[in-house]
Structure 1
Amino acid sequence: MHRNVTPTGVPAGTDHPLEVRPVTSKRDLKRFITLPRQIYAGLEGFVAPFDIEQSSLLHPKRAAIFQHADIQYFLAWRGGKAVGRIAAIMDSVAIQHWQGPIGQFGALDCLPEQAVVDSLLNAAEKWLRARGATTMRGPYTLSCNGETGIMVEGQLAPPTLAMPWHPKGLGDCLERAGFTKTKDLLSYRLDLTPDLQERFKTPGQIKMGEGRFRDITTRPMVKKEIVTQAETLRQLYNDAWSQKDNFIPLQSHEMAALMKQISPLLKPEHYVQIDRKGEPLAMALVLPNLHDITGDLNGDPSPLGWVKFGYRMMRHRFTSARVTLLGVSHKVRGTMLGALLPSLAIMELIKRADRMPYKWVELGWIQEDDSGMRNLAESLVPKAHKCHRVYEKPLD
């Protein structure tokens, strides 16, 4: 289905005035959370996420980020109908880590109509300025540890967990509004073909537990130890990503909330932790793609839909997954071992492929200037199939 638009790209029937208002009621909060599946319905490539999933990301009583961030939601209205949304975010953890009053925006969703985009950005900018922000960066939902960037390529690719979807042209609207690109985040589709293990070779065919690497071992996820392992994962993630642009340290309460959401999806083979003499040095986490079992249920399933969802979850009816949180400790960064660890982690996951039902996995996202990770991904997949872009604007 394609929307009826004017030659300038503006949807037909937009003669009513625009108004942007802060979200202050429970009714508008629900509208804010569910808005993408309403405004994007029928657009080619869009698959509606579950309302309950979006609520865990956005509801002030459920999203862990509200414990350390001041956030205001805005809705754009036209003719009594909500046509866009945005969040303005002042995150105390981000401000401390970035060492400056950098405000963020996120949950930006609307059709690529410049007037709507400008109105939403202006509302968020005014709110951030009033709280001392000198820079506006995003979009994030609601943190760079969550859904990040505007999708600028890959709208027709299959959706994956925690990767935002936007219509083509929305990024162009941000650039016309004065925002400039800070970083592209790339994702690669890796088909799990029978010959993959043979095709993917670690340098020198290094094997963990042998020779110079006899002290290098792997550790799977153990359900009984998931709380302890989650904290180890958080610390290793913060260590591994500390030098990356736009990084914000993941807080313990955020990890606890994340594990509560994803633990029903996880199996021991989904997690690789590489240790040296018992000390964690690298990790990789595979998340089953929730869209595989929810894509045909819309965002708000019927009672029968919930029965189907429960059955599919119980039977683990997933056909794809996303490799995320792949990182290496700073203790070995810049060494030969540090350079090898991502390959060893991916090789370990490939070895486990016969225990996982997935036909393909997504490697992402990877920052465009991370040559090591890009070389690793592109040794398996020549070209990225998705690109998400982060923007920034000075508030002088």
Structure 2
Amino acid sequence: MAIEIRRALSRAELSSFIKFPYHLYKNHPYWVPPLLIEQKDLVDVKRNPFYKHSEAEFYLAYKDGQVVGRIAAILNHNHNKFHNENIGFFGFFDCVDDKDVAFKLFETVENWARRKGLDEIRGPVNPSTNDSCGILIDGFDKSPCIMMPYNYEYYPKLCESYGFEKARDLYSYYISQEMLTPKVMQRLEHGVELVLKRRNATIRPVDLKNFDEEVKKVKEIYNNAWSKNWGFVPLTDDEINHIAKGLKQIVIPEIALFAEVDGKPIGFSLSVPDINQALKGLNGRLLPFGIFKLMRNMKKITMIRVLIMGLIHEYRLSGIDAAFYYYTIKNGIAKGYSEAELGWVLEDNEPMKRVAENIGSVPYKKYRIYTKKLG
């Protein structure tokens, strides 16, 4: 049957766009259905602050009257301005195992990018590198952590067959309480004490009672600490407030940490419970009874994800990042968590990879962001 690509414009079409993965991965043992309300927010061009500075179009692929794929074409103006580039992105890519369908979707984004006069397409980003991004290429036998993607093993082949090449690989590291021997923890504690004393630095938990002020400090640190990272795009005030509002409900102060020198914030580390462990079986819905199951499941979470960790430029390579890891591990264990995912980490971020490996964590998942030049 012929493959038809339609732009998702109506409420019903956008609903099909959002819900397609729930059908594609139905009963999959490792895929975790994200909350539908959060997926709607990611494509809401009227309310999500990302679309105040950028634009996107959403497309569905049909075959024999059935939805068999989806993709978004994205123009992130803030990215292009910050990096002095002229590129577009694709995101929200999901597809049946059919090369013809995938090629039609990729071709749609490529043609859209050409009409915009762009030089390259890169992705997936959903809708930016500040959200989930990349295609899983290693680690298919494990469920994704919060705000990380999951896909079938045939996805990389579909991308590469079309002509996409690797732009960057992203790593996630794993560590468990069992992997942390007393000797490792003693060595880490001793090293952290020396570093903090030498730098006159302290580590403190986030103050939820002054949440708005804390968020302002996070923004200043974030837009400084990550500014030289590949793919980084500064967050606007609206964006960081939007993200903070969504995460506030699951923030645990003991694993959301500031580093300060003489009372001045110079670094931030945010770890959150892996709520994906609690979302299994809800099929993305909290109502009418999902909320009660979620509350029960939250008590069974064993994993945390180290979501972001960074220091302003003058304190990079100072060793304070090891202090973040130490207190996250120590406080996380005290709160009842027994394992953690650290990441993602760029493949060429050697300092962060070295710190992760020095505490005993191991790379256990790999994601890839693809690129294609438009000659």
Q: Is the 8 A contact 2:277 2:297 kept in 1?
A: no
2:56 to 71, 89, 92: 71
Consecutive unaligned residues of structure 2, counting only runs of 5 or more, are: none
Q: Secondary structure at the match of 2:69?
A: strand
Q: Secondary structure at the match of 1:386?
A: strand
2:302 to 300, 319, 333: 319
Q: Which residue of 2 aligns with 1:9?
A: none
Q: Is the 8 A contact 1:208 1:217 kept in 2?
A: no
Distance 1:318-1:208 versus aligned 2 partners, 3 A rule? farther
1:129 to 114, 118, 142: 114
Map residues 1-396 of structure 1 onto 2, 5 A cutoff.
16-193=1-178, 195-196=180-181, 198-200=183-185, 201-202=187-188, 205-207=191-193, 211-213=197-199, 215-301=200-286, 303-312=288-297, 316-333=299-316, 338-381=317-360, 383-396=362-375
The alignment's TM-score, normalised by the length of structure 2, stands at: 0.94
Consecutive unaligned residues of structure 1, counting only runs of 5 or more, are: 1-15
* Post-superposition CA distance 1:319-373 (Å, at most 9, x none): 211001111211223xxxx341211110121221243221211001011111111
CA distance in 1 between partners of 2:27 and 2:278 (Å): 19
Deviates more, 1:353-362 or 1:322-331: 353-362
User: How many angstroms does 1:204 deviate by?
Assistant: 6.2
CA distance in 1 between partners of 2:42 and 2:274 (Å): 17
Q: Is the 8 A contact 1:111 1:170 kept in 2?
A: no
User: How many angstroms does 1:254 deviate by?
Assistant: 0.9
CA distance in 2 between partners of 1:197 and 1:131 (Å): 57
* One-letter code aligned to 1:343: A
Q: Which residue of 2 aligns with 1:13?
A: none
User: How many angstroms does 1:156 deviate by?
Assistant: 1.5
Distance 1:43-1:310 versus aligned 2 partners, 3 A rule? closer
Q: Let me know the Cα RMSD of the aligned residues.
A: 2.0
CA distance in 2 between partners of 1:70 and 1:382 (Å): 38
Deviates more, 1:70-79 or 1:109-118: 109-118
What percent identity do the matched residue pairs reach? 29
* Post-superposition CA distance 1:287-345 (Å, at most 9, x none): 111112111222235522232224555xx442211001111211223xxxx34121111
Aligned length: 374
CA distance in 2 between partners of 1:225 and 1:197 (Å): 36
